[in-house]
Amino acid sequence: MWVKICGVRDVESARIVAAAQPDAIGLNFYPQSPRYVSPTVAAEIVRELPEGITPVGVFVNSTAEEIVSVCESGGLSHVQLHGDEPPSLLAELRGAIPDLKIIRAFRIGPAGLGDAAVFLEQLVSLRGELFACLLDARADDRYGGTGRLAPWDLIRKEYDYEFWPPLILAGGLTPDNVAAGIAAVRPEGVDTASGVETAPGVKAADLVRRFVQAARK
């Protein structure tokens, strides 16, 4: 099980998270997020990370030029697009950084996965591919980090596991419910931010450790 801890915003938090040995950490470059980290601090975090933990840059409606600049200056090989980015942006990114691994997040509500299906169909016509799809809970006024549960049963029913990219489950996951989420949805990865915090952006070592252990069980 691939495990990502998102919203790491300083070097000390990165050390706390790294001690639990997740597969990846998320560095949020969305200025309106309480988990925002500047590109300068993010580069320091990347340098501190032990081998085997992948830094993932999280962007919300940034331009291709902005994303490429942060990736090149910070040494990022993975990005997560968590806004309303069109398939054409992925093509631009791949043109600039051919080996870039891209996660596309979709916010899922009662209407289901129709928007994701349309996006993925358009992406095929552009000959693009994703490292993974991340499914989060829909909140009309926010782009993630809400602590709300994604609709597990709906995702399990509608996600095309055979033909769509690997699925990463997010949305309200905690050490106490991540095992149930995995059993219900059968993702290839899980992602949490608020579920291992005592306050927005403040990671708790015990919660991070318990989350990673529960996910991998």
Q: Tens of pLDDT along 161-216? A: 999 999 999 999 999 999 999 999 999 999 999 999 999 889 999 999 999 999 99
What are residue 55's DSSP bridge partners?
A: 25
Distance CA 192, CA 114 (A): 24
What are residue 58's DSSP bridge partners?
A: 28, 80
pLDDT mean across residues, the chain: 93
> Do residues 193 and 26 lie in contact, with contact meaning Cβ atoms separated by under 8 Å?
yes
Q: Which residues participate in catalysis according to the annotation?
A: 6, 136
pTM, entire model: 0.94
Average pLDDT of the residues in 123-134: 86
Which letter does DSSP use for residue 108 in this model?
Answer: E
CATH class of the structural domain 2-216: alpha beta
